[in-house]
Amino acid sequence: MPILSREEFDSIEFDAAASGDHAAAARQMTLLAATGAESASMPRAEAFLRAGEQWLLADDPARAVNGFRRAMADGGPVFVDPRVPLARALFQLGRQAEAQAIISRLKAEGPANPRMCDMIAELLVERDDLQAALDWATAGVELCLSQAGEQSLRGPTRQWRSGDDSELRLLLSLRYRIRNDLGLGEDDYDQLLDEP
């Protein structure tokens, strides 16, 4: 029985990105996820999640749904909640009500991490639901700041410092673009983009 390894999945993803054959990568990952023994570096749930992402890249959202549901059923640790890409796949299949129900459930549970907020905001931008996207991007910014030991910015601009602020910068940029599209003026969070 093969052992699931992060390095192997990274290599499969790299090859798929170079060749454009995401369907072959998805098939290989799905087989490995179903038959391989999970390891500390690669839980089975994450293997199914990554296979589902490759199915999305291969424009096969039906198979992607299967991968994401298998990741959810496994219940093991994953780098992002499988319900987020599941909602994307359901939207692509025209199953808007199911996809929206997932997003509503995630909102009711409260934002879990900045990456999830970023992914949902991006998905909602694609769906032209800019106000909801702005809410998720703002929630992600606030999570980043609270994780960095900062208070939520609601008053005058304050400086922030973080060892790894890449996710914060992504969310701030996304939020700024959404606010521009909505015709909103600059606010305190937008001003953080100008800080070194």
Least Cα distance to 165 among 117, 111, 114, 120 occurs for: 114
For the stretch 36-70, pLDDT in tens is: 898 888 999 999 999 999 999 999 999 999 999 99
Confidence check: pLDDT of 119 > 90: yes
Sequence letter at residue 82? P
> Which residue bears the tokens 């992402």?
53
Q: Given this model, what pLDDT does residue 147 score? A: 81
Of residues 124 and 41, which shows the higher confidence score? 124
Domains and their CATH numbers in the chain: 1-93 (1.25.40), 110-196 (no CATH)
Distance from the first to the final alpha carbon of the chain: 50
Q: Given this model, what pLDDT does residue 126 score? A: 95
For the chain, what is the mean pLDDT?
A: 90
CA–CA separation, 137 and 63 (whole Å): 29
Task: Compute CA 91 distance to the chain's CA centroid, rounded to the nearest angstrom.
Answer: 15
CA–CA separation, 135 and 154 (whole Å): 15
Confidence check: pLDDT of 100 > 60: yes
